[in-house]
Structure 1
Amino acid sequence: MAGTMRKSEASTSRSSGSGNNNNNRGESVVADCGRRKSSCGYCKSTGRTTVSHGLWAHSITVDDYQDLLDRGWRRSGSFLYKPDMEKTCCPSYTIRLRASDFVPSKEQQRVSKRMQRFVDGALDAKKSGEAFKDPGISASACNEVSSSGTMESLSVKNKEKNVGDHITYYLSEQVDNVIRTCSESGQFPCSVRLPKASVKKVSQAKRKLLVEGAEDLMYSSNIAFQIAATIRQAQSIAKDGSQSAEDNPLTPKIIAEKLAASLDQLAKTNGLAIRACNGHINFYTAATQVSSKEDSHIATGSQESEIERKGCSLRKSSVHPQGKRRRLEIRLKRSSFDPEEFALYRRYQIKVHNDSPAQVSESSYIRFLVDTPLVPVQPSGDDRVPLCGFGSFHQQYVIDGRLVAVGVIDILPKCLSSKYLFWDPDFAFLSLGKYSALQEIDWVKENEVHCPSLKYYYLGYYIHSCSKMRYKAAYRPSELLCPLRYQWVPFDIARPLLDRKPYAVLSDSVLLQNGESSQPLVSENVMEVQGDENRNEDSNDVPIDDDDDDDDDEEMTEPEFESSDDDPGPETFGQTSVETENGDVSDILIGLKGSRLRYEDLRRALGPEDRSYLESQLHRYKRVVGEKLSERMVYSLG
């Protein structure tokens, strides 16, 4: 037996290493927790109506966790869970978007502009009209401001806003003119209606990524990404309609270079230096020697532009911004306990979610948002790992030295997965949930340059039956994961199915659209929702309201879990996958007392009762994680 185990260990070591794509990324070790039930934080049901399968991860590689995400799993600390979509009260669909295809809505653009005005010193008031109080200013001092002084301050700020708006509006007009010229000359498809350009002032938010010359980067536009996405979508529709359509050779980088070259005359007449950087069109002060590095578009500094110092030569205005500029920093750090972060989290939970102080303990915070089973991967200098590496991170948003928000994220081989966000209630008027999501999408765009596989932004779970979770569909164009076939389905195709039922096999709609079947592809008994007596009946079709600034809707929430003593054991868990299953569990990788062996090598050492019980557990485990992961991850028996 000992000789057999040693032989098996050698073979499994080779197979598990190759399965993880990179042998130095560690190994995944999980313990099966079986079925879990808990109360639902979404529909607020009184019973334990959230049903899921759970795994406790002692460690997990970033590659394996990426594959688990693509099978509908998520994590809360070191606990991994996957909803039983047929039985849980609020079916939760994994949602993602391709970052380079993202087109911001008008409301999302307003959020970015509001933050920019706040950083520039042109916005000092909450939406409600109350004066924003800096940490060092007392309430009595604020009350001493005279009404005449307030009016004067508002007048100055309105002038500041007008200056900034004049500049960006003028630059946007010039870019639109160049786009129109390119369309008329045939460089862009004349039959496609292209989006309008939006040039934005670059804030101090990315000071952390300064490179040579970037301190004089003043304005930037991502219109090239929007044009490429629009052309690609138009060609996709043409192909679906059996029309002739060629693959789009116009990448954002190529489009930006065309537009920048055509804007050369603008640079000469207005004292600007214009450069295309990885799909972005950047406007620098002419005195700057622009860096030749490809990633210079992601940095900015605090210096004011030459055109503003000269009285806004682009638009004839003598108004000079007088507001106090603020410094916004976005810092990315590995997941670890930070007392300042915990203090912010505690305040957020009590003020925003009405938790009692006793509910917000340091230990619960650590379990939920600090602990992580992900094995960190350090940057290696190649194009398979971003500059920050892979693993679990906290992204801090700091304004003038004050921590105002923290985004808890996982950076994986294919995506940035957003887990949770907590923020300072005093800054609710800045819509920090939406703003952080936009920053995370931009981060993916920028880092795809260094790591081509990192293309997607995962927003967690989308719950169509919960109106407060529908905001995630506003980040377009998004797609949902089919809970049966694990195929990605465009949201616009999936939505009609979800309007009819909380649980649906989303890939059926795609197959039917392609004419592959005229009958339901999954029997009604499989698609039928179980446990209707516990289901949230509120399925009102509530559209996303672009004018809704309720940040309560923006957090990346995850349900809390309770231990369950009603594990079904051998019972089949959840829906049956359409993957071919021959019932063979012999290749599952088992961890036992420090050894690694396949179940086929362990089977003969077990008695009939132990063998029968363990095999029932392994069958269930294989169904929920899939064949490949069951052979790659270590199923721990202690």
Structure 2
Amino acid sequence: MITKKKVGEAMQENKAGVQDLVYTCNISFQIVAAVRRALPKEKSANQTEVLADLSPNSVAEKLVTTMGHLGELAGFEVKACNGHLNFYSSANSAMQNYTGDAVPAQASDKASRSKQGSVNKISAKHPQKRKSLEIRMSTSHFDPEEFALYRKYQTKVHKENTVTESSYRRFLVDTPIVFVPPKSGDNTVPPCGFGSFHQQYRIDGKLVAVGVVDILPKCLSSKYLFWDPDLAFLSLGKYTALKEIDWVKTAQEHCPSLQYYYLGYYIHSCNKMRYKAAYRPSELLCPVRYEWIHYDLAKPLLDRSQYSILSDYATMQDETPQLQICGPSDDSSAKVDHHESPSDEDDEDVNDYESEMMIDEELVDSEKADTTECGSSIKDIENITLDLNGSKVKYKDLQQVFGAIERRHLNALEGQLSRYAKVVGKELSDRMVYCLS
């Protein structure tokens, strides 16, 4: 994974002989993580001493030293900086200084011409030009250029034989969310408005990735990402996720209600989805009580069973999980399972607009769910549209369409809809379709 770093100070320190920082690599962090995972859990005194000296900074320094012993890297000067390897574009004089080879005076003209010719050939093949990254956001609509990239991505990454325009439109273009335009002087709506959007990532004008997102009153929900398979080494999935998180932080200054970043469904037993747990702090929604539970509290339950009432974590005995409020540790299973995948399939390919929320009557009855328990009233749920086997009807018209329904079933449904409206907000719940199966 190649990460973007702030290089202003580094550039100032290396004005002499360094033209530009071409790229930076965090391989040292991955090496340290791999070594720590390979060591047995019960560490000896010798291993403890080795680990004490093992850090990304020390590994980066050793890598730079080793690369220096192996010979020059034509056109580049490599330096260690905070555990990263920075590759700088070198001027001709800097390249000579970097190799450390003394040139005899009597042969200087010939060697100079030879080296200059070599540098010119390298520069011709690999011109050192700063790349321009541009991020464009537009409301959801069909774009032929985006579809061409999507087809390339699905074919090469997900091995799909046939990718049709109609399926693409249904999946990533058509949306049930109504666009809400921004209003001047109104801090309840972000500058781009609310709705479904496509974020284009372009390098020197070329489309390299598209993030499909829903911007809602309280969050940015990441629905899907597709990127150029030829640029898998850039780890665009990770980069775009961090940019989306940064967007929420920036937009919050204009719209304070925007606070959260949603990564969609999380299936603990699916390795491709483990990467979502690596962004911390993170929470999972209890599928029964609609309470947000910190991932580190929910994980022991998910390790035991594929389906769990996450809010039951408090009843677990002899377990006091430690909350992690920073980035994932070196031995994070999420990082091992997916974040270091060479193809970096960091896409929300199982996200969809309509979630299949099933009513478990026994669980709801056991909780004595009713509208007053959630602090909601019938008015909060009466305009929620329900999808019943393809038929869409508002809750207030339910009995008029399907006839009389037993009170116990209505109580269970009202309790679940009340919790649903409380989580997503009345305004949004009135606009979305709630599926029952």
Q: Kindly tell me: are residues 507 and 339 of structure 1, through their superposed partners in 2, closer, same or farther at Cα, counting changes over 3 Å?
A: same
Assess if the C-alpha contact under 8 Å between 1:431 and 1:549 holds in 2: no
Other-structure match for 1:122 = 22
Write the distance in 2 (CA, Å) between the matches of 1:544 and 1:419: 21
Find the aligned partners of 2:186 and 2:378 in 1 and give their Cα distance: 37
TM-score by length of 1: 0.41
Q: Which residue of 2 aligns with 1:477?
A: 281
Deviation at 1:500, TM superposition (A): 1.1
Higher RCO, Cα 8 Å, sep 6+: 1
What residue identity is the alignment partner of 1:112?
Answer: K
| Distance (whole Å) between structure 1 residues aligned to residue 339 and residue 352 of structure 2 | 30
2:306 to 493, 497, 502: 502
Secondary structure of the residue aligned to 2:335 is coil
1:488 aligns with 2:277: no
Match of 1:351 in 2: 156
Identity %: 48
Q: What secondary structure is seen at the aligned counterpart in 2 of 1:576?
A: helix
Q: Answer yes or no: is the 8 Å Cα contact 2:248–2:261 preserved in 1.
A: yes
Distance 1:589 1:397, change over 3 A: same
Pairing of 1:163-312 with structure 2 (within 5 A)? 169=81
The 1:353/1:456 distance shift into structure 2, 3 A limit, reads same
Q: Tell whether the 8 Å contact from 1:489 to 1:510 is kept in structure 2 after alignment.
A: no
Deviation at 1:550, TM superposition (A): 3.1
* Distance (whole Å) between structure 2 residues aligned to residue 390 and residue 586 of structure 1: 26
Change (3 A) 1:574 1:440: farther
Structure 2 counterpart of 1:589, one-letter code: E
**Structure 1 CA distance for aligned equivalents of residues 414 and 145 of structure 2:** 42
Match of 2:191 among 374, 378, 387: 387
Aligned to 1:372: 175
Question: Partner of 2:417 in structure 1?
Answer: 625
Among 338, 342, 345, the residue aligned to 2:143? 338
Distance 2:248 2:353 in 1: 30
> Unaligned 5+ residue runs, structure 2?
9-19, 28-69, 99-125, 320-331, 386-392
- Quickly say closer, same or farther: Cα 1:348–1:623, change in 2 above 3 A: farther
Determine whether 1:554 maps to 2:346: yes
Match for residue 581 of structure 1 among 351, 370, 385: 370
> Over the residues paired in the alignment, what is the CA RMSD in angstroms?
4.9
Q: For 2:432 and 2:279, how far apart are their aligned partners in 1?
A: 37
The AA in structure 1 aligned to 2:335 is: I
Counterparts of 2:173 and 2:213, CA distance in 1: 11
Who is 2:4 aligned against?
112
Deviation of 1:446 after TM superposition, in Å, equals 1.4
- d(CA) in 1 for partners of 2:296 and 2:420? 31
Q: Quote the offset at 1:512 in angstroms.
A: 6.0
Alpha-carbon deviations, 1:364-415, whole Å to 9, x = none? 1111101111111222232222211111110001111111100000111211
Contact 1:394 1:406 in 2 (8 A): yes
- Is the 2:369–2:412 contact (alpha carbons within 8 Å) kept by the matching residues of 1? no
Q: Is the 8 A contact 2:289 2:419 kept in 1?
A: no
Q: Deviations over 1:421-479 (max 9, x none)?
A: 00111111101111110111111111111122212111112211112211111111211
CA distance in 2, matches of 1:155, 1:123: 15
The yes-or-no answer on 1:544 pairing with 2:332 is no
The letter of the residue matching 1:492 is D
CA gap 1:612/1:576 in 2 versus in 1, 3 angstroms: same
Q: Per-residue CA shift, 1:569-623, capped at 9, x if unaligned?
A: xx967952736227999765368xxx99945xx96x78xxx42269898667545
Paired position in structure 2 for 1:363: 166
Contact preservation (8 Å) 1:419, 1:460: yes
* CA 635–585 in structure 1, closer or farther in 2 if over 3 Å, else same: farther
- The number of residue pairs the alignment matches comes to 313
SS of corresponding position for 1:626? helix
Aligned to 2:217: 413
Task: State the SS of the aligned residue for 1:554.
Answer: coil
- What is aligned with 2:201? 397
Q: 1:543 to 1:155 in 2, by over 3 A?
A: same
Partners in 1 of 2:132 and 2:431 — Cα distance? 47
CA distance in 1, matches of 2:248, 2:431: 31
- Residues of 1 paired with 2:277 and 2:298: CA distance? 11
The 1:457/1:579 distance shift into structure 2, 3 A limit, reads farther
Q: Which secondary structure state, in structure 1, belongs to the residue aligned with residue 258 of structure 2?
A: coil
